[in-house]
Chain A
Amino acid sequence: MESSQILSVVTFVYGLAAALYIFAWVFRAETAFRFAFGFLAAGAAGNALGIGLRWVESYRLGYGHAPFSNMYESLVFFALTISAICLVVVRRTKMPALGALASPLAFLALCYASLSPHVSDRIEPLLPALKSNWLIAHVMTCFLGYAAFAVGFCAGILYLLRERSRERRDGIWARIPDAGALDNLTHRVVVFGFLFLTIGIITGAVWANSAWGRYWGWDPKETWSLITWLFYATFLHARLVRGWKGSRVAWLSSAGFAAVIFTYFGVNYLPGLHSYGAMG
C-alpha cells in the first residue's frame, strides 16, 4: 500500500475519532470516549506509518529525503503532532470535551492536505537549501510547538465557553471541565509549546547560518515566528509575574494560536515574499 492511501484511511479514522469524542461529550457516553481514544491512537499510529512509508518511497524514487519538505508533508506531520499531544492530554485529564475540540484539528489538517487543490502530494526532490540535517530537527520541534499551542487554543476556547454558559448548568455545558483544570492545562501546554517553539526557532537560526551565513535575516517567516514567540513570552510573564488567570489567559491562548496559524500559512500570502521586487 502506498503512503497516500494509508493517509486517506487515517483521515477517515481521525474523522471517526473526532465524531466519537463529540458524541462522548454531548451524551456523556463513557464507551464512546474509550473508543474515541482507541481510534485516535490507531489514527496516530497510521499517520506515523504513512510518514515512514513516504520516507521510504522517496528513497525508492531516488530522492531520499525526510518527508518534511513541502506543505503536504508538513500538514501530515502537523496532524500527527496534534493527535499525539491530544492523546497524552486526554489520557491524563480525561476530558472528552478537549478531545472533541482538538481531534477535529488533526482531521482538518489531513483533509486540507489531501483535498486542497493548492497542496500537491507528489514526492519532489529537495531544493538545495533544504538539503541539511537541520531540516528534521527544525520541522519536528516547530510542529510540536505548533501542536501544543493548538491544544492550548482548544483549552482556552473551552474555558471561554464555560464562562459564557455560567448560568446554563445543563446538557453539554455541564460537562465542560472545571475552570481551574482548564486554566492549568492551558498553562502547561503553552509552556511545552513555548519550549519547542524556542528550540524550533534556534534550530532554524543555526541552519540559516550554515546555509546562508546569517542566523537571522528578518525574513517574514522568521519575523512571524518571533512575533509568536514574543506573544507567548508576554503571555507567560502576564500569568507568572502579573498573576493573570482565567478568561484573560484563555483569550491570550486563543489569540496566540491565530499568530501560530499566520506564521504557518498566512506568511505565504504576504506581498513580495521571497520573490523580491514583485510588489503585491
Chain B
Amino acid sequence: MAETARIQEISADGREPAKESTDQDPYEGPGRILWNFLKSVRLGVVLMAGLAAVSIIGTFIPQNQPEDAYKDAFGDAWTRLLSGLDLFDMYHSSWFRLLLALLVANIVVCSIDRFRAQRKIIFTQNPHFLPERFRKQENRQSLISPASPRELAGRFAHHARRSFSVVGTEQRGKTTYVYAERGRWTRLGVYIVHASVVLLALGAMMGSFFGFDGYMKIAEGETASQCFERSTGKPLALPFSVSCEKFSVSFNDNGSPKEYRSSLALSSGGRTLVKKDVLVNHPLRYRGISLFQSSYGKMPPNRITLALTPSGGDAPLTRTLSVGESSTLPGKRGVLTLKSIADSYAFGNRELGETAILVLQKPGAKAVEVAVPFRFPAFDKMRRGEFALSVKEYESPYYTGLSVSRDPGVPLVYLGFLVLIAGLFITFFLSHQRVLVELSENKSGTRVAVSGIANRNEPGVDERVKRIAALLSAPAGA
C-alpha cells in the first residue's frame, strides 16, 4: 500500500518520475552500464539537439555534387578534409546513422525503463487516492448542502458513471469519499509516440536493406529491362521490361511545363502485364515496384537525312539512314554506311558538335571515313570528293526519365506516421483526470468538497470540478 501510494504521489503531478525504476539490479556489468547510459533522458535531449545542429551542415554544403564542383568551391585541401568527414553525403554517412541509431536505442531503453516504473500506475486494478493531495488543489470547491451524504454520493456516482471509467466510494471515519477517474490509459500516450519512432526506424531500415532506388531512361518506342541504382550507378535487372510507347510534354502559355506523360507498357516473356500513362504524382505501381515520371529529354539523333551534292553542280541526291544502315550510291560510286553519330567532334582545336560518322566504300578502293558535322553543311566540301555530304534533317526522339524504386518499408513507415499522430494527440490533448468528492455531515447539512487532479491540461479538470460542484449544490431531486 505504502509503495503504491508513493509512486502515485510522484507521478500524479504530471511530471514523469525523475528517478527511474525502483527494481535496480545490483549487478554492475558492462550491460548494466550501457543500459544506464542509454536510459537517460538527458542523453535523448542531447542527441535530438545534436542531430538538429549537425543536420544544418548538410543544408549549407550541397550534397552529392561531382567532386570537381567541390574542388572549385573549397580548394583541394578542404575538399579532402570535408570528404574525409563524409560531409558531402553526410545523411548517409556511418557517423550520422550511428547518431540516429543511438537516438532510437535511447528512446527504446528509456521507454522500457520508465514503463517499468509506471506499469503499476497505468494498469492498476484498484486505484488509490490520497485526500491530502486533493485538498491542496486550487480548483477545490466547498459548499454546504441540505441533502444527506448518502443522497449526494448517489447523485455524484450516477453522474460519474457516464463520464468516468472508474467510480468508487469509501467511508473513512465520518467522511464519505467518492472517487472517480478517467483517462488513466492516456498515460500510455508517450509510449505510443516513442513506439512510432521505432516503427519509422524499422521501416527506414527495411527500405534500405530490401529496397532500391534507381532511375532509367527510355527513348520513345524503346524497351529496357534494367535500371541504374541512384547512389552507385550500378545496373539492376528488373523482373519485367518497360516499353515507352509514347512520351509527350505540354506547356502553359507562359512557357512553364504543364504535363509530362509517358505511356508505358510492362511486359514479361512476351506477355503484356500492364499498360498505363505515367504522370508526375501518378506513378505506375506493379508488384511492389513503382515507376515515377521524373525527367525527360531528347536522345541523340539516331536517323538522319543526308544531302549529297555532286561536285559537278548537278541536282543533289538525298539519302535517309539510321545508324548501321547502308545505301548504294548510283553510278558505281560506292556504298555509304552511317557508322555512328558522335556528340562531339574535334577538328584541329575546334569543337564541331554533333557529327555523323559515315564510311564510304568504293568498289576496289580503301574505305574512307567521312565526318559530317550537323551544324556546318559546307564542311565536307573540303574533302573534295565526288559528293559533298551535309546533314539536311535529323530526328532525335524524346526519352523519358523514370525513377524506379521498391521500398518494402513504406507500409511500416506509414503505420508509424498514423501511430505518431495518434500518440501525439493522446499525449498532448487527453489527460488522466481524477476527482474526489468529500462528504461529511454536520449540524447544518452536509459539507461538500470537490477537487480534481489532472496529469496535464489542468483547465479541463477545473471545468469538471465546477460542474460537479454545481450538480451537488442543486436542490434535491433536481
Question: Which residue of the partner chain, among A194, A211, A215, A241, contacts B424 with CB atoms under 8 Å?
Answer: A194
CB of A277 within 8 A of CB of B55, answer no
Q: Is B279 part of the contact surface with A, judged by Cβ < 8 Å?
A: yes
Q: Is the interface of A mostly helix, strand, loop or mixed?
A: helix
CB of B45 within 8 A of CB of A205, answer no
CB of B213 within 8 A of CB of A213, answer yes
CB of A223 within 8 A of CB of B254, answer no
CB of B258 within 8 A of CB of A128, answer yes
**Chain A 121-165 against B: per-residue CB contact (8 Å), 1 yes, 0 no?**
000110111011000000000000000000000000000000000
CB of A242 within 8 A of CB of B45, answer yes
Q: Is A226 part of the contact surface with B, judged by Cβ < 8 Å?
A: yes
Closest to A239 in B: B15
Chain B residues touching A, range: 35 or more
CB of A199 within 8 A of CB of B421, answer yes
B61-69, B302-310, B349-357, B432-440 - interface stretch? B61-69
Closest to B16 in A: A241
Complex CA distance for A118 and B292, rounded to whole angstroms:
33
**Chain A 205-235 against B: per-residue CB contact (8 Å), 1 yes, 0 no?**
1100111111110101001101100110110
Complex CA distance for A280 and B403, rounded to whole angstroms:
28
**Chain A 239-262 against B: per-residue CB contact (8 Å), 1 yes, 0 no?**
011110000000000000000000
CB of B260 within 8 A of CB of A128, answer yes
**Chain B 228-268 against A: per-residue CB contact (8 Å), 1 yes, 0 no?**
00000000000000000000000010101111100000000
CB of B48 within 8 A of CB of A128, answer no
Chain B residues whose C-beta falls within 8 Å of the C-beta of A271 in the assembled complex: 60, 62
CB of B414 within 8 A of CB of A206, answer yes
Q: Is B58 part of the contact surface with A, judged by Cβ < 8 Å?
A: yes
Q: How many interface contacts (CB-CB < 8 Å) are there between A and B? A: 129
Report the minimal beta-carbon distance from A231 to chain B, rounded to whole angstroms: 5
Closest to B57 in A: A223
**Chain B 425-463 against A: per-residue CB contact (8 Å), 1 yes, 0 no?**
100110000000000000000000000000000000000
CB of A218 within 8 A of CB of B403, answer no
Chain A residues touching B, range: 35 or more
Q: Is B195 part of the contact surface with A, judged by Cβ < 8 Å?
A: no
Chain A residues whose C-beta falls within 8 Å of the C-beta of B404 in the assembled complex: 213
CB of B403 within 8 A of CB of A224, answer no
Chain B residues whose C-beta falls within 8 Å of the C-beta of A267 in the assembled complex: 59
Q: Is B290 part of the contact surface with A, judged by Cβ < 8 Å?
A: yes
CB of A128 within 8 A of CB of B283, answer no
CB of A224 within 8 A of CB of B62, answer no
Closest to B59 in A: A220
CB of A212 within 8 A of CB of B62, answer no
Q: Which 3 A-B pairs have the closest CB atoms?
A: A272-B62, A230-B52, A128-B280
Add 19 more A-B contacts to A213-B403, A231-B49, A238-B45 (CB < 8 A): A125-B256, A191-B428, A194-B428, A195-B421, A195-B429, A202-B420, A205-B413, A206-B417, A210-B283, A212-B292, A212-B403, A213-B407, A215-B407, A218-B58, A230-B52, A242-B41, A242-B42, A270-B60, A276-B65
Can you list 11 residue pairs at the A/B interface with Cβ under 8 Å? A128-B279, A195-B425, A206-B417, A210-B281, A213-B290, A214-B407, A215-B410, A220-B59, A233-B48, A241-B45, A280-B62
